[in-house]
Amino acid sequence: MTLITRIFADSNPFKSVLSVFCFFLFTATSFPQNSFDDYFYDKTLRLDYHHTGNHSEDFYSFDELIEEPYWAGSKENLLDKFDFGKYKFIVIDEETGTHIYSRTYSTLFGEWQTTDEAKETFRTFSETVVFPFPKKNVIVEFYGRDKQNNLIKKFEYKIDPNNYFIKKERPMQYETMKVLYNGDPSIKVDVAFIPEGYTEGEIELFKKDCEKFTKYFFNSSPFKENKNHFNIWAVLAPSKESGTDIPADKIWKNTLLNSNFYTFGLERYLMTADNKTLRHVASNVPYDQIYIIVNSSKYGGGAIYNHYSVCVNNNINEEFVFTHEFGHGFAFLADEYYTSDVAYNDFYSLDVEPLERNISTLIDFDSKWKDMVEMGTPIPTPSTKEFKDSIGAFEGGGYVEKGVYRPMQDCSMKSNSVDNFCPVCKKAIQDMIDFYTEK
């Protein structure tokens, strides 16, 4: 049985939140960043762990450490400057206490906690964080958010980089392809295309799909203006069978990543819980973002910030799905629609300002896009012809009709439209591109 460990920051909840707030405030303002060569080797250390819980509790337990050959991330922007995601991890030099690396992220487990099932039972999900391979002993601290979006310390794990239990074997090696290459991965956004449900005889189709989706990528602003800041890689990894699981139709396929429609009971939600296989496959190339392309004509997809994105390869809406989902996975953009069915319950609290930059409860509108609203535009903003092309605060977004506001009446994060990111979403995407490319 796995030993499950819970580590709290402080026995006093108020002191815990206050100390974490002060700590992150200090971190965010104590630039410049650390020197990569002082602390890291040019390769990756992958930390796999188990995340267990129900709708109100969560626990972490260590799984394994794996050395991977490529480091694709920035060597300058080592500390995350964005207050995004449901979780954060920090790598700390044990000797000096210096924070040498951090990133924010979200996970499938975090979404599952908002479902009805999580009210009835516990589940365990495999999760991963990756960071440059440390030269000296480090402590990795894990933080999760409370209902007020404060970061609370949950778990820590000490690492000796000379530990002989750090695995070096590569269990799933495949041929790879450079779909688009613009230079040094450390100053580019590196996207790994991973095939799902392509048999050995369909790998040529996957190659063509990679070219097709790369064109889709750069049909939309602000990606088209930043094409030279991206590398796109493909891992040529076949599945035993073609397609993916459709549980409600009793269709089960033996595929590489064990993906399925009906994730959390929602038909269009196409995801995988097989995190370890996904990470094994992705490690064949340098990557910042993982994009799974599923060999299916059924409408669907999904994405989770700094986790992975998913799209199907043969559907009339594939281009929209592809760019929309990358908005989630890469830039932490929220869904702006509110009339479609979802599996979540109370995904956003109406008395808390959401972390996503493209929705607001108006609790702290100053922290969002208020500076982009023209003088005289009413807040909230009526959805009338007068304000059709205006930036304002239009009610409806984040899966609810009331209490959550979006920047414009329409956007690629709201409706089935290509090359239609609103100015607020474009800025969020551009800021993330700049962070990855050290601009």
DSSP E strand boundaries for 265-411: 289-294, 301-304, 308-312, 394-397, 400-406
pTM: 0.92
* Domain shared by 183 and 332, yes or no: yes
What are the distances in angstroms from CA 285 to CA 64, 72, 185?
Answer: 21, 9, 10
151-159, strands of its sheet edge to edge? 99-105, 87-93, 138-145, 151-159
Q: Are residues 130 and 224 in the same domain?
A: no
Same domain (yes/no): 153, 185 = no
Task: Find the CATH number of the domain harbouring 132.
Answer: 2.60.40.3250
Q: How far apart are CA 215 and CA 15, in angstroms?
A: 51
Residue 263 lies in a domain: yes
d(Cα 202, Cα 235) in Å, to the nearest integer?
A: 13
For the beta sheet containing 176-180, the strands, ordered from the edge strand earlier in sequence to the opposite edge, are 176-180, 230-235, 189-196, 289-294, 308-312, 301-304
Residue 348 maps to a domain: no
Give the E-state strand segments of 27-171 in sequence order. 40-53, 58-68, 87-93, 99-105, 123-134, 138-145, 151-159
Domain termination site, one of 134, 159, 184: 159
Looking at the fold, whether 31 and 145 belong to one and the same domain comes out as yes
Domain boundary among 288, 312, 336: 336
Q: How many structural domains comprise the chain?
A: 2
Q: What CATH number corresponds to the domain at position 230? A: 3.40.390.10
Give burial (CB, 10 Å; 0-12/13-18/19+) of 170.
Answer: middle
Please give the pLDDT value at position 32: 53
Domain containing 283 equals 176-336
Q: What is the model's pLDDT at position 431?
A: 98
Q: What is the DSSP string of 293-319?
A: EE---SS-EEEETTTEEEEESS-TTHH
Residue 339 CB burial class (10 angstroms; 0-12, 13-18, ≥19): exposed
Domain presence at residue 380: no
Same-domain status, 211 and 303: yes
Domain closes at, from 302, 318, 336: 336
Distance separating alpha carbons of residues 283 and 172, to the nearest angstrom = 9
pLDDT by residue for the chain (439 residues), tens only, comes to 333 333 333 434 444 444 444 444 444 444 456 899 999 999 999 999 999 999 999 999 999 999 999 999 999 999 999 999 999 999 999 999 999 999 999 999 999 999 999 999 999 999 999 999 999 999 999 999 999 999 999 999 999 999 999 999 999 999 999 999 999 999 999 999 999 999 999 999 999 999 999 999 999 999 999 999 999 999 999 999 999 999 999 999 999 999 999 999 999 999 999 999 999 999 999 999 999 999 999 999 999 999 999 999 999 999 999 999 999 999 999 999 988 777 677 789 999 999 999 999 999 999 999 999 999 999 999 999 999 999 999 999 999 999 999 999 999 999 999 999 999 999 999 999 999 998 7
